[in-house]
């Protein structure tokens, strides 16, 4: 096993299996959770990937909530709630922290980022003392920007380094060019002693070289290289054989 020179902020999570009421109930019946004992994190970047329905967001959410973040995203200072739909998995995982504490942190969740932006605007309108919260995101209202611009504003301006950043599908509104720019931003922040845990479908974002990729399947969690993920394989096949793959897709639809 490759050794790393620096201690991560979050070393691993452990599932307290002895306290789980039933592995027949959600979310414990998910293959990735049912087989989970412990999951170690790379001190720089850890990816949690897989097909939809494998429990990626559920696992990411549980890690973030157990660390102290709001289930809908933001920093530890955000306590708003628009709809309490998160699972109770966080109550059954134990965090194993490293020997150092982060100075910064953020839970980015694409599906509830609009709610986060709305909450920030409400706070800025209610409180006149101190600088507006939006100043930490580039000085412009997140609702006055496109979805992709507001996403990238958080990565570029709010993330200050020496932090633990948990990102759930951050590529949702980003073009391929922006995804490459984000990969560069991740590298900048890693050089500033940051640690990332990222759930993504993007082969571009998965390309950070010094990282660990966990691939969630119905049978459990596997450790894979980028080139072994379905995301990379299918994208490569499509780009290299576009016409043939389109023909096969259309032919299969016509036969239905």
Q: Are 40 and 12 in contact (CB under 8 A)?
A: yes
User: CATH code for 10-224?
Assistant: 3.40.50
Burial (0-12, 13-18, 19+ Cβ within 10 Å), 222? middle
In this prediction, residue 255 carries a pLDDT of 57
Cβ within 8 Å of residue 245, ≥6 positions away: 237, 238
Domain boundaries along the sequence of the chain: 10-224
- Give bridge partners of residue 95 from the DSSP assignment: 13
In this prediction, residue 66 carries a pLDDT of 94
In this prediction, residue 2 carries a pLDDT of 44
In this prediction, residue 195 carries a pLDDT of 98
Pairwise CA distance, residues 162 & 188, whole Å: 11
In this prediction, residue 91 carries a pLDDT of 94
With a cut of 70, which residues of the chain have pLDDT below it?
1-5, 77-86, 110-148, 252-256
The pTM (predicted TM-score) of the whole model is 0.84
């Amino acid at each position: 096993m490759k050794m790393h020179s620096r201690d991560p902020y979050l070393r691993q999570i452990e599932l307290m299996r002895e306290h789980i009421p039933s592995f027949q109930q959600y979310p414990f019946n998910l293959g990735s959770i049912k087989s989970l004992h412990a999951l170690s994190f790379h001190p720089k970047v850890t990816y949690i990937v897989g097909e939809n329905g494998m429990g990626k967001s559920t696992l990411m959410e549980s890690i973030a909530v157990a660390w102290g973040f709001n289930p809908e995203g933001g920093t530890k200072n955000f306590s708003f709630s628009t709809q309490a739909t998160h699972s109770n998995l966080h109550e059954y995982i134990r965090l194993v922290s490293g020997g150092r504490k982060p100075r910064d942190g953020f839970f980015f969740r694409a599906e509830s980022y609009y709610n986060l932006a709305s909450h920030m605007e409400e706070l800025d309108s209610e409180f006149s003392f101190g600088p507006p919260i939006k100043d930490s995101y580039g000085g412009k209202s997140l609702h006055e920007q496109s979805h992709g611009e507001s996403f990238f504003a958080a990565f570029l301006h709010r993330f200050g380094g020496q932090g633990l950043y948990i990102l759930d599908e951050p590529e949702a509104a980003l073009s391929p060019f922006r995804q490459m720019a984000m990969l560069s931003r991740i590298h900048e922040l890693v050089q500033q002693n940051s640690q990332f845990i990222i759930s993504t479908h993007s082969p571009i974002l998965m390309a950070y070289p010094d990282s660990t990729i966990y691939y969630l399947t119905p049978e459990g969690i596997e450790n894979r290289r980028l080139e072994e993920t379905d995301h990379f394989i299918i994208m490569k096949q499509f780009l290299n054989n576009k016409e043939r793959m389109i023909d096969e897709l259309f032919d299969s639809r016509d036969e239905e």
